Copies of this chain bind each other. A is one copy, B any other.
Amino acid sequence: MTDQPVSTELTTRRRDPEARPQQILDAAFHEFGDRGLAGARLDDIAKRAGVAKGTIYLYFPNKEALFREMVRSTLIAAIATAEARRDEAGPNDSAEALIRQLGAGWWAFLRTERVLTLHRLVTGELRQFPDLMAFYAEEVIARGRQLVSGIIARGVQRGEFRAIDPLVAARMYSALWMSHATWVNNRELHPSLGHDAQILDEMLDFYLHSLRPSV
């Protein structure tokens, strides 16, 4: 508050040595995200991290390990964020209200730079890393679907929604939200897209319409 000493922030060296790995992972996230595993250069990662090339090897045995760890940690961070969101939902709300609430949350979440990049990497490069794939599948996909399918199941039970397999409905949800998140990230390719809030409305409208009992 008062007169902090001429900031150690100015020099990268020796600033908070425990932060080094994270610094590197952050830089790696951007470079790998932009150019892929093969295309990214350790030199650039080091430069972006404000660290010498050799320093990376103090924390990660090689490029591939750095990539893996970067994906892992980003994944974990993403999961944590998503998790935090889950508990915001009031358990007494209607299923539709919950879907709306969750829909808005995921819509914000999925359009995040971090998540979009992760998604690109997953579809692009993760086939070479089956274990990371499995991790992604279990921790992210399955977990997300359970959340949604839980809500749907309750809605079906309550008669709010028509009889539909909650897992199937959860899959449709993923499909709509993830696809649109990707598209808004490449608006040049999809000029007919409205603004983000409007898209969310369109998805919710479409999705809920399909779930409502057809009288």
**What's the Cα separation between A189 and B134 when bound, in Å?**
6
Q: Which residues of B contact A164 (CB under 8 A)?
A: 206
**What's the Cα separation between A35 and B36 when bound, in Å?**
10
A137 contacts the other chain (CB 8 A) = yes
**What's the Cα separation between A186 and B120 when bound, in Å?**
15
Q: Which residues of B contact A169 (CB under 8 A)?
A: 206
Q: Mark A109-153, 1 if CB is under 8 A from B, else 0.
A: 000000000001001110110100110110001000100000000
**What's the Cα separation between A124 and B36 when bound, in Å?**
8
Q: Mark A170-205, 1 if CB is under 8 A from B, else 0.
A: 011011101110110010111011000000001100
> How many identical subunits does the complex contain?
4
A53 contacts the other chain (CB 8 A) = no
Distance in Å from the Cβ of A192 to the closest Cβ of chain B? 5
Of B174, B189, B209, the residue contacting A179 (CB under 8 A) is B174
Q: Which residues of B contact A125 (CB under 8 A)?
A: 36, 124
Q: Are B189 and A136 in contact (CB under 8 A)?
A: yes
Q: A124-B123, A182-B123 are in contact. Are A209 and B214 (CB under 8 A)?
A: yes
Q: Are B206 and A172 in contact (CB under 8 A)?
A: yes
**What's the Cα separation between A193 and B165 when bound, in Å?**
12
Known: A172-B202, A172-B203, A206-B210. 6 other contacts (CB 8 A): A35-B128, A36-B36, A36-B37, A124-B124, A171-B183, A175-B176
**What's the Cα separation between A39 and B136 when bound, in Å?**
23
**What's the Cα separation between A189 and B135 when bound, in Å?**
9
Q: Which residues of B contact A183 (CB under 8 A)?
A: 171
A58 contacts the other chain (CB 8 A) = no
A51 contacts the other chain (CB 8 A) = no
